[in-house]
Amino acid sequence: LARGVKQPLPSDSFDMTKEQITEFGLFCNYNQTRPESRKGDFPSFLIKPTQRVCKYPLLLRELIKSTDESNPDHQLLQQAYDIICSTVQQIDETKRDIENMKFFD
């Protein structure tokens, strides 16, 4: 998320009828019972991508350590590491901003 960009409110983005809301609720409940979902609820699925992003710097750091500096991939791994670290920092800052907004509401 870019700093200073106003995010739309859910009411601005999702104009759903009561029937659609009911159908979506049924869809979420059905999928929660499937073995593939591991009984995760909808909010846990929404947070998963953010949680996984925070693991990528660790993986990339280990790959960099085990890749010889003469290997052409070493520089690319370093670039990927720098980019993902910046992304994680932005996520952390946005999360902090949101938590601060909740505190003042």
Per-residue pLDDT tens over the stretch 6-46: 555 544 556 778 898 889 888 888 888 888 877 777 777 77
User: 87 pLDDT exceeds 70?
Assistant: yes
Q: In sequence order, which residues have a C-beta less than 8 Å from that of residue 32 and are 6 or more positions away?
A: 39, 40, 41, 42
CA distance 95 to 27: 28
Averaged over 38-67, what is the pLDDT? 85
Averaged over 47-71, what is the pLDDT? 90
Exposure of 37 in the CB half-sphere (CA atoms within 13 A): 16
Strands (E), 1-105: none
Measured in whole angstroms, how far is the alpha carbon of residue 61 from the centre of its chain? 20
